[in-house]
Chain A
Amino acid sequence: MTATTISVVYDNSTDAAFRSWASGVHNAILSLGWITASAAGQLNINTVTKPSASGHFPVYAVYQMNDALQTTSTSSSVYMRLEYGAGNAQTLPQIAFWVSPSIDSSGSLTGTSISNRRVIGGVQSPGALAYVSYFSGDINRVAVCMWQAQSSNGAGFFSVERGHNDDGTDNANIIYVVSGQAGNGTLQSQTLIVNPVAASPTAEVGFPCIFSTTLQSAPTHFELGFLFSAAVPLRGFFLNPSFCAGAYRTEDFYTAGNGGIFYITHYGAQQRWLALSSTASSFTVIQSSNARLCMRFD
């Protein structure tokens, strides 16, 4: 279990600026325990030149889980492809995001997949300030919140994990993905059926969770408890909850700028979670104005 932060400038204006944030993300994901997959065309992220135009993604990397299910069974593989480049303008950093159980020799993800979702950045004006980004994961999961203090359209989030059995152990049949770009209301959750591969259930706007929708000006604190609900995948029925993404109420944890740490017992074990600030959390978690996004952070 690893949790780390990086602070990089939201900027594509120079080769050095582009390499700085792209390599920062790349190295942070590897530090969680994921490894790069063999795929043609993967350039050296430390020497690549900046995007030449809007919508240009000059470099990509394909990552794969490094757990037993990945290494012992090709039918339970999980690949994540990230393309690093530019959004609505050349100067605006953006990440494009794929998830799939299979990959071809050219590095394209095949089969059932999350395809080319623009999860981070791309629309907000660049600046000279560095913004903190959060990474949490292990060999079998990843959760990333980039530039959470960037104004609402710059921040973004994605998480990838396996489904979970009742006891919290990984399930080989499911991949669960939450991803989105703040400001556009595009937080989306998706259950991928991978073993055997089957058509995916309809993606959800936000994610299913249990939430308090009343008395928005009041906290949910009661005795020693407060409201936290992990995202829940759907596959015709509700599956066991996520290890990576969840919801909290603004009034319970809101801390401007830097989010806040809290601990919960989840699947019988204590976990450390990070309540993201209102800026990074302005996704549609659910259609409630006081719902905020939180991420596993250990």
Chain B
Amino acid sequence: MPAFTAIIPHDNTTLAGFQNWVSGTSTYLSMSGLVRLQDYRTLVTTSIGLPSVANSASGFEIYTFNDGLQATAPAYIKIEYGGGSTTTKPAIWVTVSAGSATDGSGSFFGNYTGSNFNNQTSLRPTTPLLASTQTTQILSTSCYFSGDGTRIQVSLFTDVTLGTIFFGVERTKDTSGNDTSEGLVYYSNSGTAASTRSGIAFFPSGGMAKPAPQLETAFNGYFTGNSSTSYGGLIASSFLYPIAGNIRPPAHGMLLYVGADFATRAPVSQSLFSSNRVFLPLGTGSVTAQSANAANNNLHIAMRFD
């Protein structure tokens, strides 16, 4: 279960800077266990062009998981690299497809979800949800990657206020915490409540495509309205519980916590189905778990980090 910390500058101001964070991200995604798919339009990260138009991507990569379920329940993760409302704001689009490869030009068939969706019928708005609000080159920015071939969790530009990009993908779980071939769980945020997305893309069932449930504009978990959960030396955190009609078993890739309860970037250990897992609190200055209707405006994300 590798976990990596990388210093990758936040920089869309120059071609070299853009190529640097794109290729750095690509490298660490592969190191984290994902398999890069050879799609004929997949970019060569070292030759990708600088975004020339606002809210545009200059190229994409497609990755798959590398686990025992990939053969029968293939997962595809498309990542597009580009710029936000101005070309100097680093941005990505993430699309997750359950069971359907692309048409060779990077378009998915079947059931997919991801950062590009406002809801299940409004696909890929031009404006990327996962975009920095910062336009300048910021050299000292920590990026975190964690995965093992069955999941991926990423936090880019974590030191950049309203510049952090967080996303994760993993398989749905059964009540014992095991991966299932039912679907893929997706979650992402880039520092504002409006950018929060979580959802499930289901694999076809019985030869039939399965519709997607309503995409959530929140991270669904146990919320507290108080400024701290601390009591008797104990602190509460909540896993993300995907919703597809009813509440599904929790995802393993992130925790929700109250900002005051965890020190920023100090790894914490959390028992999960009798195994200790490590999570990295991303901090109050980076991504946020809040949504327009969350019970607490001080909720934050800790990403899986082992």
Q: Are B220 and A220 in contact (CB under 8 A)?
A: no
Of B18-26, B51-59, B210-218, which binds chain A?
B210-218
10 closest Cβ pairs, A-B complex: A225-B245, A236-B234, A222-B245, A236-B231, A225-B246, A213-B293, A214-B217, A213-B218, A288-B293, A222-B213
* Pairwise interchain contact B247-A229, C-beta atoms closer than 8 A: yes
How many pairs of residues, A versus B, come closer than 8 Å at their CB atoms? Answer: 113
Q: Which residues of A sit under 8 angstroms from B244, Cβ to Cβ?
A: 222-223, 225
Q: 23 A–B contact pairs at CB < 8 A?
A: A198-B232, A201-B231, A202-B228, A202-B231, A204-B226, A208-B222, A208-B223, A210-B222, A211-B223, A212-B243, A213-B217, A213-B218, A213-B293, A214-B216, A215-B215, A218-B214, A220-B245, A226-B245, A226-B246, A229-B247, A234-B224, A234-B231, A236-B229
Within 8 A of A (CB), among B198-250: 213-218, 220-226, 228-236, 238, 241, 243-247
Count of interface residues, chain B, beta-carbon cutoff 8 Å = 35
B291 interface residue per 8 A CB criterion: yes
Of A211, A227, A232, A234, the residue contacting B246 (CB under 8 A) is: A227
Report how far A228 CA is from B245 CA in the complex, Å.
9
Do A227 and B243 have beta carbons less than 8 Å apart?
yes
CB–CB B236/A238 < 8 A: yes
Most buried by A among B223, B233, B241: B223
Q: Is chain B's binding surface mostly helix, strand, loop or mixed? A: loop
The reply to whether B294 and A202 contact each other, CB–CB distance below 8 Å, is: no
Q: Closest A-chain residue to B227, C-beta based?
A: A202
User: Which B residues touch A288, using CB under 8 A?
Assistant: 293-295
- Identify the closest chain A residue to B241 (Cβ): A210
Size bracket of the A interface: 35 or more
CA distance A287 to B225 in the complex (A): 9
Nearest CB on B from A63, distance (A): 28
Residue of B nearest to A211 (CB): B220
Is B13 part of the binding interface, using a Cβ–Cβ cutoff of 8 Å?
no
CB atoms of B216 and A238 under 8 A apart: no
Residues of A within 8 A of B238 (CB): 238
**In the complex, what residue of chain A is closest to B212 when comparing beta carbons?**
A222
A87 interface contact, C-beta 8 A = no
How far is A238 from B241 in the complex, measured between Cα atoms in Å?
14
Interface residues in B20-39 (C-beta closer than 8 Å to A): none
Query: In whole angstroms, how far apart are the Cα atoms of A215 and B294 in the complex?
Result: 13
